[in-house]
Amino acid sequence: MSSARGTANHVELYPGDTNEPVVTASLAGAGQDVAREAKLDVPPQESLAPTKLKIEGLSKAYGDFQALHPLDLDIREGELLTLLGPSGSGKTTLLQLIAGLVKPSTGKLLMDDIDQTALPANQRDVGVVFQNYALFPHLTVSENVAFPLRMRGEPRAQTLERVKEVLEMVGMGHLGDRFPDALSGGQQQRVALARCMIYRPSLILMDESLSALDRKLRETMQMEIRRLHRETGATIVFVTHDQEEALALSDRICLMNGGRIEQVGRPEEIYEHPESVFAANFIGVSNLFAGKTTDRGVMETVFGSLPLPESIAGGIEGTLVVRPEHIALNGDDRYLEGEVVERVYAGAETRLLIQVAPELVVTARQAAGASMLEIGSRVGLGWAAENARFLTR
């Protein structure tokens, strides 16, 4: 996609990709652990922040196809909000509407209480970093980063100072004189990010910016983005289809499905308290049991009676959700029984697939160091009732 450039209040559309770590720490598997261990009763500081971007009834249709159904969303000042969902969920369409790259069919968009709905992209104070970077090959790193300020006619001394500042911020201060073809993919990604940040846009949009990276580099870059977010206090909207990436990065997640918002909340809220079967199944791994509640405080399923997490009236059809980490193997309470059909070693844990019935395989987890169950072992499955979640949609 070509870059959009202007002068006053302009948007810079600079593709980005990264390929090189600058720290050695890893976030492998951390997203779900953080979500499980975080305390839900402590309200986040960002909840007190004013609204940066207010979306009201925004939608987009292409002929008979409704890419985005009318939706409302408030994005807070200084937060990192992730638009998460599968392909076709509407997340990229929403990002394009925010950037001004496409016109909405209905609704409006306000930034800092100013209506931006009809403004073209080059008049919005928004920076965008896409998956693919596009640096000028004939310009050095410093010249590439300085380009947005040169377009604005900023004084040379001020521009040089700002270039030095942002290059240091992204760990590229020592490479300002190099040309793009002398950089690794990861270094080029950082230059693209620095070029987006140099003019301090009110809002930074990142569209699948890490998807081209291998796992380790992607996790490293997640840490870098979190660091830059803390240091700059920027408001960032990040688009991804990767659930672990969303859990690791986000202050809040906006989960999308079929052009609609499925659920909005902190990562730990959506992981521990999904509001729909889609949310439970898309964020993390879930065991799902369909059935109908009874007056005895249980849900009847084709596999037997399962305990409900709370008092629920009888006769309601729904789905009981139990996360693999809450499954107890051969404990005192056994609601199901099955045979271990697969073991997947994952370092800190081993995932077990347990065949309960021809149409039901339950996923459980064993911590490292636990006595391993062999394939073919018979095992009883149970869980604390309060660790399950009953959903009706």
pLDDT attached to residue 31: 38
pLDDT tens-digit series, residues 22-77: 332 322 333 344 333 333 343 444 456 899 999 999 999 999 999 999 999 999 99
pLDDT class for 371, splitting at 50, 70, 90? confident
Looking at the predicted structure, is the pLDDT value of residue 238 above 50? yes
- Residue of 111 and 187 predicted with greater confidence: 111
Domain final residue, candidates 277, 302, 317 = 277
Residue 4 lies in a domain: no
> What average pLDDT is seen over the chain?
85
Q: Note the pTM of the prediction, 2 decimals.
A: 0.81
CATH code at position 359: 2.40.50.140
Q: What is the pLDDT of residue 7?
A: 34
Task: Give the pLDDT band (50/70/90) at residue 132.
Answer: low
Same domain, 268 and 290: no
Considering 242, 261, 277, which residue would you say is the last residue of a domain? 277
Q: Which residues does 99 contact at the CB level (< 8 Å), separation at least 6?
A: 11, 13, 121, 124, 126, 128, 205
- Please give the tally of structural domains in the chain: 2
Name the least confident of 135-149, 184-198, 227-241, 313-327: 184-198
pLDDT tens digit string along 199-226?
888 899 988 877 767 788 788 888 888 9
User: Do 217 and 157 reside in the same domain of the chain?
Assistant: yes
Tell me which of 346 and 336 has the higher pLDDT. Answer: 336
Mean pLDDT of 339-349: 90
Kindly state whether residues 300 and 268 are assigned to the same domain.
no
- 289 and 272 within one domain: no
pLDDT at position 48 is 67
In which domain, by residue range, is 255 found?
A: 12-277
The verdict on 185 and 289 lying in the same domain is no
In a domain, 336, yes or no: yes
- Same domain (yes/no): 27, 129: yes
234 and 290 fall within a common domain: no
Verify that 252 and 296 share a domain, yes or no: no
> Mean pLDDT across the stretch 258-277?
96
On whether both 221 and 318 belong to a single domain, the answer is no
- Do 346 and 367 lie in one domain? The reply is yes
Q: Are 57 and 120 within one domain?
A: yes
Domain of 223, CATH number, reads 3.40.50.300
Q: Which of 277, 296, 320 is the last residue of a domain?
A: 277
Residues 121 and 253 in one domain: yes
Rounded to whole angstroms, how far apart are CA atoms 25 and 342? 31
In a domain, 86, yes or no: yes
Of 306 and 190, which is predicted with more confidence? 306
User: What mean pLDDT do residues 266-285 have?
Assistant: 95
